[in-house]
Amino acid sequence: METVQQQMKDLVKKLNEAAKAYYQEDREIMSNREYDELYDRLEKMEKETGIVLADSPTVNVGYEAVDSLPKETHETPMLSLDKTKDREVLREFIGSHKTLLSWKMDGLTIVLTYDHGELEKAVTRGNGVVGEVVTNNARVFRNVPLKIPFQGRLILRGEAIIRYSDFERINQSIGDVDARYKNPRNLCSGSVRQLNNQVTAERNVYFYAFSLVSAQDVDMHNSREFQMEWMKDQGFDVVEYKIVTAGNLDEVMDAFAAAIETNDFPSDGLVALYDDIAYGDSLGSTAKFPRNSFAFKWADEIRETTLREIEWSPSRTGLINPIAVFDPVELEGTTVSRASVHNVSILRELELGIGDTIQVYKANMIIPQIAENLTRSNNLKIPEICPVCGQEARVIRENDVESLYCMNPDCVAKKIKAFTLFVSRDAMNIDGLSEATLEKFIARGFIHDFGDIFEIGKYREEIVDMEGFGEKSFENLMKSLEKAKETTLAKVIYSLGIANIGLANAKVICRHFDDDLEKIRCADEEEISGIDGIGPVIAKSLADYFKNEENNRKLNHLLGHLHLHREEITGRQIFAGVNFVITGSLEHFANRGEAKKLIESLGGKVTGTVTGKTNYLINNDKASNSSKNKKARELGIPVISEQDFLELVQKES
């Protein structure tokens, strides 16, 4: 059965690649006859096995949006697992019992229900008692079978995950570094809880079954291993597992540990589950944990190394970030030699000095960090000049955090970073101009201001001869520039890199001035700060920018290449003049950027700080004593959950 299933998966992949090439890329990788033959073969296999995969070309799932995710109580409560980081504790738990040891995948737990061979329902774990119904989204998971041969009622549990490769791909498509996802788990959680399952489909979510809850009238031979193999026969991908006892535990765990280096999926440990179903069930559970299973969590891998240097990396705003450079060490399967220290305050708190013995680790097994400085020599001197332009650098304290800034407005590093922002997705959205390419163009004197980018065609001969470029890359860049010329005033204002002005602020300002650039140019601080949601800091930044004659000259040069369109406003502006602050983890949205996008599309504004102008603070932990919650309570501002917010949207719409 497994061989047939693999053949079906291969056919699905091959047919989908052919369809994408034909319909989306205008190229043909197989003849119509070959496609039809493979399609017929797949259809025949589906009839013979009773299995139909979610991404099979023989079914059309369709995309659908919902207003909210309904809640549902699980038939069987889902308890957490007791856990340890000590291998000997795990060995003692296993003893002489035949035990399944499997990956503890780091994603979102989902309960699937099938009836009469078809997927009936998918519900998230939620709080273990009540979860959210995400059936619509589960139908577009990459590998969930929509139909299975078993016709009785089936309930099983598994983990929805996003692979590292897809995580990197999605993050690389996001120009704004701050808007990128922190880890695959957060991305997966938001993707599974989407209100529009087209987004879920684009994210490539995979599902791996790890536990069978019930299968009507099926004899499972009192074996968890039998259950796992039975689920495989039904068309499910199951979590990889090995059979262990205390005797072979070390060998198997070592193999799992070695596999982490090449795994394309996130995991944060292992799960041990007794094979004997009756024995495991007879043990019952504590108030919090079942007694038939145990989790092993990988301890943070910490390595000692020697600090060799602090690099200072300038940004477009003039902020110069300290980066620790140390002797290379192996961490979580990769070689690491650098870690951001973030700011001068952290640098001083760690009392860093060249030659110090430091401990480093990977936060969330991804981001290198300094855990501790064992030597604390504190012999570092904070630079007084910018490492790029050689002009004055100064430590500035803001909100109790000290950071180093370059004071030279014409610093080349600022230019490169400014151009990087200008071409990013949320700004002018110009493909083909990476930071490295921009650096080369600036060094060769091709571009001096933003308008020069749209005149880059006059350097065609030099560019096609540059390393990494060629005729095709140049032509693609020209097409991207033509497309970028059609834009909105708000995106232009944001792309200029004016301090403190993000895309949301730019939209609010442009909306207030009716997309009239001359009105914006002539507005003073008082008028700008009078805009609801725009404070004096933003007002000063904008007014000061347009007081500068050179800034206006450069903007006029840029505008000579652009065709500005009014911002399209879809739907009722039910949140016009309403200010939101979002804090804490999100469940219904993949990240804050998506929630922010919805609010802005409805006329509202999202800011980062709770002030007297804030109308709502969105926080799923409404009882939290966080600084933002405290501030909201002091000012009498309602603290609402995501669900409250979505109900507000529905009510007002």
Active-site residue numbers?
Answer: 104
| CB-based contact 620:598 (threshold 8 Å) | no
d(CA 624, CA 630): 8
The CA–CA distances, whole Å, from 555 to 71, 492, 549, 598 equal: 51, 9, 10, 30
- What single letter denotes the amino acid at residue 541? S
Q: Is the dihedral of CA 511, 514, 519, 525 positive or negative?
A: negative
d(CA 307, CA 329): 12
d(CA 262, CA 347): 33
The DSSP line for 256-322 is HHHHTTT-SS-EEEEEEEESBHHHHHHT-B-SS-BSSEEEEEPPP--EEEEEEEEEEEE-TTSEEEE
Contacts of 197 (CB under 8 A, 6+ apart): 63, 64, 65, 136, 137, 139, 140
Which two three-digit tokens encode residue 558?
């840029």
Which two three-digit tokens encode residue 20?
């994408």
- What single letter denotes the amino acid at residue 90? L
| Residue the block writes with tokens 């409250």 | 644
Q: Which of 267, 24, 268, 264 is nearest to 168 (CA)?
A: 264
Chain-centroid distance, C-alpha 351:
33
| Residue the block writes with tokens 């719409």 | 653
Which two three-digit tokens encode residue 80?
């957490």
